[in-house]
Structure 1
Amino acid sequence: MTQFFLSRAAGDDDSYAIRFFQDLSARVRAISGVDGEVGFVESADNDSRSPWSAPVRNALAGCQAFVALCSPRYFLSERCGREWWIFADRLERYAKQTGQHPPALLSVLWSGGSGMDGAPGEGGEAVRQLIRLRSHRPRYEALLTTLATQIVRTVEEHRIPSASPNFDPENVPSAFDYAGMESTIQTPSAKELAEGATQQVHFIVAAGTRAEMGAVRDDTRFYGDRGQDWAAYRPALSGPLVAHARTLAAERLFRSDVIDLDDLPARLDQARRNNEIVVLLVDAWITKLAAYRRILAEFDDRTDSSVAVLAPANGTDAETVRHSGELRAGLAQTFPHNLARGDQLVRIEIDSPESFEIDLVSALEEAQNRIFSRGRVFRRPVQDAPAARPILQGP
């Protein structure tokens, strides 16, 4: 029987997460007197797109405790949200059957600092920090003991029902999907933003699918079935660029979503009304496709002070380097007004993931500053509290 399932976001300091799992497993074995494997975690080489293997399904279906390593990246992961939902659903069924509410869903602050309210580590510090520093070893050991004791006690005192034999993780919702709550959530005013409220960022990906890009370039390994799959910096950054951008934004306490390029005009209007930021991630190769070029040219005719345009150009992609001159010309023809202004929010030929991070963070800060100084100020109407979100429990 799997006593606990460790849920973590791939790429969130994998080696330290695996070490934490090993340390926690050893502590559970020591307290329970059970030999062998007591927990489950996916291997470090698995990512959010890995198939749901039989071992993962079995561990999720039968584990008696669920330990979540909470971080900004974690709450952006649809896979982690589904894992959480599956266990929370099992807990809810147990509560209905027995009237008991065991503390079996345990959240641990992995990273994120003050932006992750309600997900404590020992003393409120991120466990990723505790595990790295020798000076924090006593506090780390104390946390392991607290968690392991709670896991063992849960296993001894409760029997959480298994998921149905044929359950499919692909067909369950994410516990972190608040789309249905959008109508009840008010956007912060400029004053509230200045006082520390989080800012909304809309990411829009201007890139084609693998099939579309095959018509204009030879190397299509950077693309997928959707424009949002564009992995601009592969192989250095294997995942989609927009997923990396959302993680960088979340680490700086920006809320974000991803919208289709076709929704660009409407979302620009919404962003202007509600003091929101729009970030357009542009693949320069897309300017070779007439349909996309028309959409982007219409955007260029507008003047939106809080819209950032970032155009990565992978410096290790030989085909992109070879065609850099014509790609630069394509951007100039598509965005003549934006480029002519020399705006700090418009950045092209970003040649590496490191440069992208610097440029994105700078653009977000600049856009936010403009909203603070020029944004539309309004009062939030009195409204009922939004529906309950997942509740974090800690040791």
Structure 2
Amino acid sequence: MSGVRPSGYHLRCVGTGGALEYPYFFLSYARLDDRTAYVRKFYEDLLDVLELPGTGSRRQPAFRDSESLHLGADWLRGLSRAVGSCRTLVALYSPAYFRSEYCGKEWSAFADRVSRYQEETDVEPHALVPVIWEPVSARLLPQEVKAVQYAESAMGRTYLEHGLLHLMRSDPKSDEYWQVVRSIAKRVRFAADHFALPSMRNSFDLSAVKGCFPVTLAQASSGHVRIFVAAGTIDRLPPGRSRNYYGEQPWLWNPYSPPAIPTAAHRAQKVVIAEGHLTSLEVVDTQLTRKLNQAMRLNQVSILLVDAWSARIHPYRKPLGTYDKQYHPTTAVLIPCHDSDDESGPDNAALWEDLKQLFTRNWLRRNNPHDPVFWIRVSQREFDDLVARIVTVTQNRIAENGHVRRLPPGGPPPPMPCL
């Protein structure tokens, strides 16, 4: 493939010598996470702690896609051989990681080798070493990933809550950061030195592996994500609700720690843009059904950001209720709620019961990680992850079932007139 690689792919391996017959570890991470030098620094720091033997330095030879796979090299073959023969896999968990097709393939392929070893020996090798690069809500993780232990109290509270990238940005020389690196190195060394996983080095094609992460199949999508907001304003407050959460316009509504910036709508737009898509912002009105139907015809994703309080009042309740009665597979609903929002907490049973009656059909699939298009009580911490994930899921549906636009029959159109 002439050195071209998929957007989610990035690889670094450390070998046991020579031609990298059995890489000591394989570092699996999303390309989006490598936009700064932090991934490379962690990789180098991990090598420092491992103190692997080798020629020319105290390290064993390193395999990197940018250095070991030259222009014109078969990157897929090299990647397949590395995943199929490495002793351990270090996976940098992040929102981008779980949206990457090839990270999902790498993870699934290595997990299969671990399962085969366990079946043959009845011994669990713990050779898959997860690292919290950036926090990911547990309910967003695939079931296969949840089965792998990735949180250890010895690594420190800051790491568990904010991830390794946060520690590096705060102080890459801190004791807390190096404590985490040493813990990771200990797990890598133990697994690599004590277990010999079955090798698939010469008979393995990673492209044929079905990864367990969501896969972006957006070829049929227009790349346009329409965001609709249903929220009150300072001049039109929902009965019983504090004014601190609202602004002069519906899109200035902020359910998280007011007066935090950006607002929920603008925060969603930032995520969509970071994913490489176009976005527009609208307010829910009586034309919502027509607009959602139009979006489906144009292969566009729609996201409804709904304030639970404002869903009770005019002009939002009727169009939202109409939406619930129809079939819109490429539309998602997020209902944010701040953790310390006492007015909207679980004790306010009437609020959530009213919302349940409004979204009777969609309520049945609420907070379903396998069908992530209707989420209630979305916390500030998981908001960005969910927006990115539902965009991926709905675009997958468009790719599978969207309207294919074909050119009219006949030859090419004549050239445009010009001066």
TM-score w.r.t. structure 2 length? 0.43
Which structure would you say has the larger Rg?
Answer: 2
Normalized per residue, the structure richer in helix is 1
TM-score w.r.t. structure 1 length? 0.45
